[in-house]
């Protein structure tokens, strides 16, 4: 009986010492998984921001192209009006309307891409705060 008590006591002590170690390993693994997920989200946010910036550059280029086309259309319209070529004037006006619609659409696209960029930057700040518990650039207002 005395031996049985020692065996049971030793088992209880072993479990009492072993259980917290296993629990701590689980907590550490959970923290690593959480950090891995947050880092993945941060990388994804940065990729989205880069893509948004590229789309904004593309939109600005298209707007510049549209503005150049409108200026050319106006020039041709003035020339055709001076020459009295009324068929060409009608065609020039139609082309001018089309180019103005394109410009309007491209400006809408630029505004949408800017909104997406703001949203993605906000997501990055939120993910960074979630991981580190503080803002990245405390005290500085950066854009």
DSSP codes, 20-63 = HHHHHHHHHHHHHHHHHHHHHHHHHHHHHHHHHHHHHHHHHHHH
Q: For position 59, what pLDDT does the model report? A: 96
Q: For position 39, what pLDDT does the model report? A: 84
Task: Pick the more confident residue, 89 or 13.
Answer: 89
Quick one: which of 53, 64, 142, 11 has its CA closest to 3? 11
In angstroms, the CA 60 to CA 74 distance is 21
DSSP codes, 65-92 = HHHHHHHHHHHHHHHHHHHT-HHHHHHH
- The upper half-sphere exposure of residue 5, i.e. CA atoms within 13 Å in the direction of its Cβ, equals 2
**Other Cβ atoms closer than 10 A to 59:** 19
Q: What average pLDDT score do residues 106-124 get?
A: 94
Answer whether 0.85 is exceeded by the pTM. no
pLDDT at 41 over 90: no
In angstroms, the CA 32 to CA 37 distance is 9
CB-based contacts of 90, cutoff 8 Å, min separation 6: none
The CATH number of 2-131 is which of 1.10.4160, 1.10.287, 1.10.443, 1.10.10? 1.10.287
Q: For position 2, what pLDDT does the model report? A: 62
pLDDT tens string 62-102: 999 999 999 999 999 999 999 999 999 999 999 999 999 99
Band (pLDDT 50/70/90 cuts) for residue 24 is: low
């Amino acid at each position: 009986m005395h031996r049985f008590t020692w065996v049971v006591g030793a088992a209880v002590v072993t479990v009492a010492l072993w259980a917290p170690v296993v629990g701590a390993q689980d907590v550490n693994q959970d923290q690593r998984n959480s950090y891995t997920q947050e880092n993945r989200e941060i990388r994804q946010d940065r990729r989205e921001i880069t893509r948004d910036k590229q789309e904004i550059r593309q939109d600005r280029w298209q707007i510049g192209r549209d503005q150049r086309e409108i200026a050319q259309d106006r020039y041709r319209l003035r020339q055709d009006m001076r020459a009295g070529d009324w068929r060409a004037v009608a065609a020039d006006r139609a082309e001018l309307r089309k180019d103005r619609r394109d410009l309007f659409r491209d400006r809408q696209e630029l505004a949408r891409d800017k909104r997406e960029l703001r949203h993605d930057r906000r997501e990055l700040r939120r993910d960074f705060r979630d991981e580190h518990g503080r803002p990245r650039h405390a005290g500085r207002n950066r854009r």
